[in-house]
């Protein structure tokens, strides 16, 4: 899936971090929604879109054991690796399908965020998107959850802190499902923060992400959960933008990581939300504005969910188009 770029300005580039190896994470076919075709439809859509001439690709690299241990436990790394090498087809629950290569590919998925952080630091203000699988935001320190094995957003945040001393990293997650693993990582910390727009936990997996959850101890006030009732779309989401800005006024982040999930689309049966293609464009515009206002252009987007193949590619295109729109665009 190579792309060629002939444009001069780094700010005009769309950097995609991906790897053909992601196709080899085999989830068993059948009815499992997290399939290799997800990345293929995104690539095909971008190749034929108006963005094609602005795209460059970078290869990922595997996250090291030390980098994985910035969030995960040694016990989980051992259990994950042992499970795939022994030929198991899932871990803990049939949602978490694996094959012989899944451990190595999950380290590449986590590593994409590290390459992304490097790319953002080299060219602040450029648009960088990790087109990767398996996703990550449900993964807990010691177990897989909801198709996720390593928490890509958290591992990228730790790397940003350690490698570049961007201490105040904020993850903004608009996947249809709450990122329980990200909240676990950040909820007791004063420097990191988490914003999540998701379907209300009364109706949606994994049953976490209540508005009352604002963090614990030193981390109180660093979690902003914005649950939405089923059927919510643009009207409800746009009302949340002032709350997000007010939160960031207090947090004053150094860097933004976006958990870019596209399973809230109205035709994706993984949630009851009713997002549209245009709403994803408006989210892209909003994210660009936030990065300009708060983080001097330092923003990295990492793919999370999105399972309705007929619309996934155009949703991603719309979001990335919004990120690339000029400063006068309105969300």
Active site residues: 138
| DSSP string covering 103-162 | HHHHHHHHHHHHHHHHHHHHSTTSEEEE--SS--TT-BTTB-BTTBSS-HHHHHHHHHHH
Q: 248: part of which helix (H) or strand (E)?
A: helix 241-251
Contact 181, 138 (CB under 8 A): yes
What is the distance between the alpha carbons of residues 250 and 144, in angstroms, rounded to a whole number? 33
Tell me, what DSSP letter sits at residue 211?
T
100 near 274, Cβ under 8 Å?
no
Beta partners for residue 199, in sequence order: 228
| CA dist., res. 173 & res. 244, Å (int) | 12
């Amino acid at each position: 899936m190579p792309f060629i770029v002939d444009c001069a300005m780094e700010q005009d580039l769309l950097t995609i971090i991906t790897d053909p190896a992601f196709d080899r994470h085999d989830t068993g076919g059948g009815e499992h929604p997290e399939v290799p075709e997800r990345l293929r439809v995104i690539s095909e859509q971008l190749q034929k879109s108006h963005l094609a001439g602005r795209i460059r690709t970078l290869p990922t690299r595997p996250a090291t054991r030390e980098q994985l241990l910035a969030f995960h436990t040694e016990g989980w790394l051992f259990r994950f690796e042992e499970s795939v090498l022994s030929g198991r087809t899932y871990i803990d629950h049939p949602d978490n399908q694996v094959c012989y290569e899944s451990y190595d590919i999950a380290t590449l998925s986590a590593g994409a965020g590290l390459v992304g952080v490097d790319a953002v630091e080299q060219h602040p203000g450029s648009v960088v998107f990790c087109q990767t699988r398996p996703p990550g935001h449900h993964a807990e320190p010691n177990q897989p959850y909801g198709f996720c094995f390593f928490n890509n957003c958290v591992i990228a945040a730790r790397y940003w802190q350690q490698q570049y001393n961007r201490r105040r990293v904020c993850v903004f997650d608009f996947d249809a499902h709450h990122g329980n693993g990200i909240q676990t990582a950040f909820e007791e910390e004063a420097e990191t923060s988490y914003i999540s727009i998701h379907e209300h936990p009364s109706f949606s997996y994994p049953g976490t992400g209540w508005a009352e959850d604002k963090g614990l101890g030193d981390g109180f006030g660093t979690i902003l959960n914005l649950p939405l009732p089923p059927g919510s779309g643009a009207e409800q989401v746009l009302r949340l933008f002032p709350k997000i800005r007010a939160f960031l006024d207090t947090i004053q982040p150094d860097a933004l990581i976006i958990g870019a999930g596209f399973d809230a689309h109205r035709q994706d049966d993984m949630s009851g939300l009713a997002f549209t293609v245009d709403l994803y464009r408006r989210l892209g515009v909003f994210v660009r504005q936030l990065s300009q206002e708060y983080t001097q252009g330092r923003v990295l987007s990492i793919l999370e969910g999105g399972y309705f193949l007929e619309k996934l590619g155009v949703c991603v295109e719309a979001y990335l188009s919004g990120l690339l729109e000029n400063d006068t665009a309105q969300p």
